[in-house]
Structure 1
Amino acid sequence: MIRLSRIPHQLLTWGIPMGPLMLLRTRGRHSGLLRTVPIATLRHDGHHWLVSPFGDTHWVRNLRADARAELGRGHRFRPVRLVEVDDDRKLEILHAYRGAFGLVPFVRDAFDADAGAEPHVFAREAHRHPAFLIQPAG
């Protein structure tokens, strides 16, 4: 996984647009140092979302400790606040994420539910895929 993320990470660091991929910058929950990871943003129902197909990753744990982060590429980052959702919206978000990024092999493999499944099918695995609403910082 780390090897796969190096190329998008470097291209985004140079400021090269890569569709929905952005750099997420969080503060390490133990070290306090800035941590940056490439992430796919989902636009759904008039909002932007982050979903972790790989579960409780370091960036997820960092956001749970401090919801303030930055999104961007190159030298252009904007401060955001990420709010974890675990309500009725989550199943719809997971469904939309799986549909939008289902052709990406590691996303497809991370979900048990198929892209064409109804949103309620994602309830069985919702605990494995944290989802965050992206809001302006403030």
Structure 2
Amino acid sequence: MTAELPPRLARMSRVPLRLLTWGLPMPPLVLLVTRGRRSGRQRVAPVALLRHDGREWLVAPFGETAWVLNARADAEATLRRGRRTRAVRLVEVDDVRKPEILLAYRRRFRLIPFVREAFGAHPREGVAAFGREGARHPVFRIEP
């Protein structure tokens, strides 16, 4: 079953989607283009790109949303901002690094209300608290 975005976020996501399509910079947001797992059509979603420990990561703060299921079905994707595109491969991570990535994501995007609401753990609780939340938040490493 696909996780649903909070209704306010679903409405608001149209704005960054449009601005990023036009090429306006909205760091750390980029457009993730995946192939629909059932339709085969291109699907586009704004996502926050996390740079941590010399790598790039995508975290799904709202669980198994459509882009996560699409990425699991076909790891080939594109990151886009305006006319600039980059083909990538999304590799799901479910090992000892995952809690560290979730903690880094929560710290990096702490000012975004939706991110704060999506996590039950707080950064001051440490990595162990994010380890307990790991099953709720898929994490993907971006490979060139």
With the length of structure 2 as denominator, give the TM-score of the two structures: 0.92
- The equivalent residue for 1:94 is 102
Work out whether residues 23 and 37 of structure 1, in 8 Å CA contact, stay in contact via their aligned partners in 2.
yes
How far apart are residue 100 of structure 1 and its match? 0.4
Q: How many residues align?
A: 136
Percent identical across equivalent pairs? 61
- The equivalent residue for 1:52 is 60
Task: List runs of 5+ in structure 2 lacking aligned partners.
Answer: 1-8
With the length of structure 1 as denominator, give the TM-score of the two structures: 0.96
How far apart are residue 115 of structure 1 and its match? 2.6
Task: Indicate the RMSD between aligned Cα atoms, in angstroms.
Answer: 0.7
1:42 aligns with 2:50: yes
Task: List runs of 5+ in structure 1 lacking aligned partners.
Answer: none
Distance across 2 between alignment mates of 1:51 and 1:116 = 19
| 3-state SS of 2:13 partner | helix
Among candidates 16, 38, 41, match of residue 24 of structure 2: 16
1:69 aligns with 2:73: no
Deviations 1:60-106 (A, max 9, x none): 00000000000011121110000000001100000000000111011
| 3-state SS of 1:88 partner | coil
Deviations 1:37-68 (A, max 9, x none): 10000000000000000000000000000000
- The equivalent residue for 1:109 is 117
| 3-state SS of 2:121 partner | coil
Distance across 1 between alignment mates of 2:57 and 2:47 = 10
Work out whether residues 99 and 116 of structure 1, in 8 Å CA contact, stay in contact via their aligned partners in 2.
no
Moved over 2 A (4+): none
